[in-house]
Amino acid sequence: MAKKNSPKVLILLGSPRKKGNTAILAARAAAAAKAAGARVESVYLHGLNIRPCSACGACQKKNAKGCVIRDDMQSLYPKLREADALLFATPVYWFHMSAQTKLAMDRCYALVEPQGHAFAGKRIGIIMAYGAPDVFSSGGVNALRTFQDAFGFIGAKIVGMVYGCASWRQAARLSPMVQAGRLHPQQALLKAAEDLGKKLAG
């Protein structure tokens, strides 16, 4: 379906779990984006060697050629540049995005370039799952605010944020609003992920 000039969607999987909730949701978004004609690639961050930003500043020097740390970010940078849309899929750990996701984000400082950040103008999607009952009690709000602040600052456009409690049992006990969710919670959340996939396809 996807042609040479089809929009590219890059999915950054920020959970260590390959079959976890964020992965399931991201897969749905991926399928929907493909169905809408996009070329989609998913990157499993936990499997990569990505070192923390060392704040050396080399990437911001005149005539710099990007980040000087030789690790798996080097193969990720071209993909991040070329994508028309980025999907960040992360669990909530300790009231914020996973360290896996934050590691990659911090290294995107190297994409600050004279004409602006390489993400400027790109479509951004967020997928987030948590074990606490809701987006406030889980601390998911802190991650959402971080995404809003960061992408607002660099001029990328968040086209959708899909988030939900991944722990139906706990949700039922602690968060009464979604108790009924035990019946068939996945359909609607997965549907939202599909809608996000379509939006990312442009």
Site for its own copies, rule CB under 8 A? 15-17, 20, 46, 52-56, 91, 93-100, 102-103, 105-106, 108-109, 134-136, 139-142, 144-146, 148-150, 153, 162-165, 172, 175-185, 187-192
Min dist CB 74 to its own copies, Å, is 17
**Residue closer to its own copies (CB basis): 8 or 28:** 28
**Residue closer to its own copies (CB basis): 6 or 138:** 138
**Residue closer to its own copies (CB basis): 6 or 15:** 15
**Residue closer to its own copies (CB basis): 1 or 183:** 183
**Residue closer to its own copies (CB basis): 6 or 163:** 163
Min dist CB 202 to its own copies, Å, is 21
Q: How far apart are CA 202 and CA 110, in angstroms?
A: 26
Min dist CB 125 to its own copies, Å, is 15
Min dist CB 97 to its own copies, Å, is 8
Min dist CB 85 to its own copies, Å, is 19
Instruction: Give the type of residue at 131.
Output: G
